[in-house]
Amino acid sequence: MSETVLLVGGGGREHAIARALAPDCSLYAAASNRNPGIISLADGFEKISETDPERLLEYAEEVGATLAVVGPESGLQAGVADAFDDAGIYTFGPQAEEARLETDKAFQRQFMSENNIPGCPVFETFEDMDAACEYIDQSEIDLAVKPAGLTGGKGVKVIGDQVDKDGAKAYIRSEDYERVVLEERFVGEEFTLQAFVADGDLRTTPAVQDHKRAYEGDKGPNTGGMGSYSGTSVQLPFMNNGDYEAAVEIMEATVAAMADYKGILYGQFMLTSDGPKVIEYNARFGDPEAMNTLPILETPFLDVLTAARDGEELPELEFSNQATVCKYAVPAGYPTDPDSGAKISVDEESVGDGLLFYASVDEREEGLYTTTSRSFAVVGVADSIADAEAIADGALAAAGDGLRIRHDIGKSDLIQQRIDHMADLRDD
């Protein structure tokens, strides 16, 4: 039978999901913003908050959804998957309890510790911020300061990188966090591994490296991600044989310890001289990493959803063995003081061979407007990272005034720095 899928969310990640699903199903979408890329692919769209399970369920039943995909973590935390599953609409996304693997960093670390998941750092959780500051003073190692709840990828402060001890304590005292996690700082190269998960089974995708810092040369504050790249195989240029497989084993151990988990499991790893370590888990596709992964996925995404729903073994995933480079255009002032509500123009014809993914924009009668986050991304897909980067950089002509881009993502000199960095760490 033909499937009707409801997609929840209106960002770049969801545009990538919509593009992967639309050819094979009747697709409907709901989000708090009008993403023109998603709307152009969907048979219907309704403006609904991603954190309103009751209204989203009404719309799902109205369109006769047989499957659902919840894109953003906020919807998972709000229990959208719970509401859909309870109503008999299989949702490819974890219920709120399992989504705590992302939405509660204290739970995440305790879960890893209790289940002996490899790659877990030394950590402590604090509700008393004075006690947390005392722990920082007494620590003989650099620490990462993490609010326990969701912060949109911008809440972590790392001692020895972004702040010193005094800066970390000032940060803790200046914010109104209920709990913070203080954990061992890992040194190495970050990478992401995403997996499709259902019934204790998982299928992994190629590794991706995101770039969190706002400005070229890895300078400035952390963002939700300014862009990312993947190679022509499952591993990245700075990885050795066995590094990818070691990360997969950590993901497998995690899934084995959480039998009810379904959806996407996203592992953010630090490749250290001792192998991969877990920086964090997310309970959904990465943004921008979804835009690297889904365009080269040759297995229909819908086949994964139906197999998961029907209790069948997940299909083996096939990829095109091409490299990808993704670069974001963001509002002026992002991430600290983004120019929200600014009217922008995007020349879709200028993208050329690149793929255009709309993200945190809102389409109105008068035109396209920025919100408080990243506006749109372009992705180059080619037989080498260099060629994919050239396509992505050329496609950035689509960015009009008032938008900023990190042009260095995917360029050979930055990737060589990653390779040299790992070589130096391994030699020490």
Q: What is the reported pLDDT for 1?
A: 59
Regarding whether 156 and 220 lie in a shared domain, the answer is: no
Q: Which domain holds residue 14?
A: 4-95
Q: What's the CA dihedral at 146, 335, 176, 110 to 10 degrees?
A: -20
Classify residue 290: in a domain, yes or no: yes
Q: Is the pLDDT of residue 315 over 80?
A: yes
Regarding whether 193 and 172 lie in a shared domain, the answer is: no
Please give the share of the chain, as a percent, with pLDDT higher than 70: 99
Q: What's the CA dihedral at 313, 314, 316, 320 to 10 degrees?
A: 160
Regarding whether 228 and 133 lie in a shared domain, the answer is: no
Q: What is the reported pLDDT for 337?
A: 87
Strand, coil or helix: 230:
strand
Regarding whether 401 and 309 lie in a shared domain, the answer is: yes
Regarding whether 82 and 31 lie in a shared domain, the answer is: yes
Per the structure, the count of domains in the chain is 3
Q: What is the reported pLDDT for 110?
A: 96
Classify residue 202: in a domain, yes or no: yes
Classify residue 315: in a domain, yes or no: yes
Regarding whether 348 and 210 lie in a shared domain, the answer is: yes
CATH number at residue 233: 3.30.470.20
Per residue in 49-104, pLDDT (tens digit) is 999 999 999 999 999 999 999 999 999 999 999 999 999 999 999 999 999 999 99
Regarding whether 137 and 23 lie in a shared domain, the answer is: no
Regarding whether 254 and 194 lie in a shared domain, the answer is: yes
Taking the C-alpha atoms of residue 328 and residue 298, their distance in angstroms, rounded to an integer, is 24
Regarding whether 378 and 247 lie in a shared domain, the answer is: yes
Task: Give the DSSP letter string of 379-424.
Answer: EEEESSHHHHHHHHHHHGGGB-TTEEE-TTTT-HHHHHHHHHHHHH
If we measure between CA atoms, which residue out of 6, 8, 18 comes closest to residue 301?
18
Residue 108, both tokens: 């995440």
Regarding whether 297 and 227 lie in a shared domain, the answer is: yes
Per residue in 156-172, pLDDT (tens digit) is 888 888 889 998 899 99
Q: Is the pLDDT of residue 335 over 80?
A: yes
CATH number at residue 136: 3.30.1490.20
Asked if 410 and 229 touch (Cβ cutoff 8 Å), the reply is yes
Per residue in 350-375, pLDDT (tens digit) is 899 999 999 999 999 889 998 889 99
Asked if 72 and 80 touch (Cβ cutoff 8 Å), the reply is no
